[in-house]
Structure 1
Amino acid sequence: MRTLFNGELSVAYGQMYIDGRTDPDEGPEAGLHACFVGQRAGLCGAAVPGHLFLLTGMHTGSVPLTVELHETEPSLDLDGWEDIVETSFRAASDDTQLVEWGGGGSSLGLPPGTYRVRYHCRGMNEAHDAVRSDDEPVLDEYLLRFWPAPPERDRIVKETSSSAAYWHRFASELPPPPTPEELAEARRLTREKEEQEARELRERVERKEWGGRLPSDRLRNIAGNVAGMVELDAALVHAIDEAGPGVQRAMARWAAHRSCDVAELSGVDWIARGLAELDRGLPFSPPLDDTERTWDLLFSDPQVPDTAVTLPDGTPNASQQAMALPALTDAAASDPLQAALDALYAAAAAHGTGWRDLFVEARSAFPETAHAPLPPEGRPRRHAAATVVAHLEWRPDEEPRQES
């Protein structure tokens, strides 16, 4: 026999504990009901694996406690103790703790393994709900004995006090523990709830990112400057997405013309030629077929003016021509939605602080996109002026659209 603890242990609410779990934060919470469910005996609750819930007569104070480890089952001491119960316990940790109420404790040095536990109590009635100071007489005391043994049903060995009888009745009247099927169903429901909450959170975040409305799958997967467009006018972005590829392609070309017009690039011969090729759906001829050459020529061609603009985000003195040119090349993208959003974003940058007027023009030129700002939920509404100007779609055999 080896004595693992012999002294006084502080208790509160008549509780002290043995914890042999590898991680006390995992698994079921070791509360009063959880530790005694399914047991016939009170006083020593072992229903939570790796945990013992020990009850005392003393409410608050310190109680004498001895903890012993035996190699084999010790003989019963029925005369020396008033109340005795037995249960089984498995220590998974190599650092099983004797724990006070509130969390303080010390290592018992109990090796990992499966044990039978016998809990001996004396003086529970005398100490019932008492509060004891350190210098006051001892009212109740306890002995806990461990020995290696396979798991068995808990049992009441001896019952004398009314306090023990109360706790035995408490344990026996608890609802039966859930079946494995019920536990599996509970875990499934919990998992579904967590997944649903995660989906709802992602949806709320996405709604916020997209101006209060969820994007279509196509819009969600679009690249380029869609985020910049959403920041400027989320309602217009969603409306362009809904308008369909014909309107998108026409809007991309329109934005390219408006961008080049405002930056005074439409009269530059190679840019005018590029606009005409864009309108006819033709590949760009040199220099627009080479990105590096295009940008070199933009900054070296004496035909190209040099004006500055304050960008929509407030950045001053940006090259208006450098902001405008991408609208032409972006408008030729193979994806019409990508083309419309990127060309319109470049045109907005070229218009600088006048980008809002450009978007008003866009809604007038393309009534399919003339939606009022979207509420968080609900159907979009048309502006009253949306039908004033109808847009004309270009066909490859048409002449370039002339802007007034």
Structure 2
Amino acid sequence: MVTVLFDEPRVFLSYGSASLMCGDDLDDVDLDAPWADESNGLCGAGVPGYLQFQVGTHTGWVPFRLELHDAEPVLDPAWEEVVEVSFTALSEEASLTGLMGDRHEFTVPRGDYRVRYCVRGFEEADEVEGTPDSYLLQFWPGAPAPGRIVKQTGERAAYWHRARRTLTEPEQQENEQAAVDELEQRARERWGGRVPSERLRRTLEFGVGLYLEVLSRLDMDLEFALADADDRTHRQVAAWAAVQCLEEAGLIGLPQLAPAVAALRRGDPAPPPFDDSGHCWSVLRQAQPPRTSRPSPPDGDYEQSPQDWAITTLFHSAEEDSLVAAMEVVVCLAFVHGRDGYHQAYAALRTQFPQLR
């Protein structure tokens, strides 16, 4: 017998992470704690009532299905990456959420379970159009037992399995040197012969998925000028550019955004809850404003929605690092105005902030 606990074709997540919570006081779990058992790198089960998932898509909507079986189900060979862990349902109320995404609630009987996490399309995620990956969780009653890797086919999954175990000292040294070499290579690819300030160089460490490196291709002079500016200027630039984006995309008058717009007009970051990406996307979905598209900068190789880019300026304006906030929103400014308008938008930015010329 099988009971479908949850089946959603569009679960929004970011930073390649999702989690399942079943119990009280689990909202502030240290993201490293679930991986303490080191049994696998895709499903961390080191915290009672909590599961942490590695997901292929960095940011986007992916399908998740959760099933409750009365006994161990037959393994479907269509799934490419499969791991199993033990899990205790501490309450009947449970939820699945993507990192900084919406929370999807469901119920599950209390008790001890074996959980099979099945993944398809993990290797191709973020490398092809759309989100090719999908995810299945199968629960069945079972006493606690060590986690295990049931099936592994891709190098990307193998990487996570390796990364989430304790390394020997030589392996640790090798990884550290490889990380240094990778940063050097990325610096050469991003800036060529130009030498960035130490603060700008540190933006290499913010990882893939943010838009920081896009600014190097769009306007490197502006990027270096922002890096030389002070924190207050960064905040003012981010706030001013966010307002321009919301105006250009036709979102500035949405009543749901009024508190955020008021803060931005003062030169401040968007306040909570607009610092949360899931909340911002939810507002956009509920408001259903007219949608448009424009050729993306610099060459118009594909079309992008100004409304999508504009809504992201809210939570990007609230990034903890002021330089990162300014760079992120300035990239959004270019995509909101598109291939044919981003040069003028950047000229207006320099007029508003002469220190960036």
Question: What is the TM-score when the length of structure 1 is the normalising length?
Answer: 0.39
State the structure with more CA Rg: 1
Query: What TM-score does the superposition give when structure 2 sets the normalisation length?
Result: 0.44
More strand by share: 2
